[in-house]
A and B are shown apart, each in its own frame.
Chain A
């Protein structure tokens, strides 16, 4: 029973263009969402987050959008850079726990020069 789903295993974009990574969740009790970036053989690093009371949060080139009614969030990276190539994990908090992260399976982003 996967509560956080990232349906695209991979995404390839050109340098300078927009990357859009999508995430869907099923548990309506989730109230905080995070994106992590992970390079091979390294641990996940926090990228950006959003509370369920907001629908958008922006940090530099990274923007996360939350659509609560659709139980959907997306991460936009503009402009994409080759160094952004990594696996991106969507994660959620809540549903009775304020410390247990529920992760999606990840999307491998490749930014081509």
Chain B
């Protein structure tokens, strides 16, 4: 009964490199969300995806960041040309549905991927 799986758990990148973070949702969940937590901050919504569709990317920085959730395989959050300010914990969450208020207690978070840019 695996939960939301994220990898890598820790990633170190030099400035200018690319970071790819992967997320496999819980079994039976077709909705994926990415959140970012900067140091000393709360989690901030980045993007909401369903299979092969980006539903809401209003929280994504306009440049260098992209996300996908292909028909097969995990969801990927991609950060190109990383900068020091991208250092953060990136959390993926999944849910089986989005209708109504029930989403709140049916959304499950992964353990996070910690990106450090040096």
Chain A interface (Cβ < 8 Å from any Cβ of B): 4, 6, 31-32, 34, 36, 41-46, 49, 51, 89, 91, 93, 97-106
SS class of chain A's interface: helix, strand, loop or mixed? strand
**In which size bucket is the chain B interface?**
20 to 34
CB contact list, B25-43 vs A, under 8 A: 31, 33, 35, 40-43
Once A and B bind, how many residue pairs between them come within 8 Å at the CB atom? Answer: 71
From A43, A89, A98, A101, give the contact of B100 (CB < 8 A). Answer: A98
From A32, A45, A105, give the contact of B101 (CB < 8 A). Answer: A32
**A98 partner residues in chain B, CB cutoff 8 A:** 98-101, 103
- Give Cα A31 to B107, complex, Å: 17
Other A-B pairs, 6, CB within 8 Å; known A89-B42, A98-B100, A99-B56: A41-B111, A43-B112, A98-B101, A101-B43, A101-B45, A105-B42
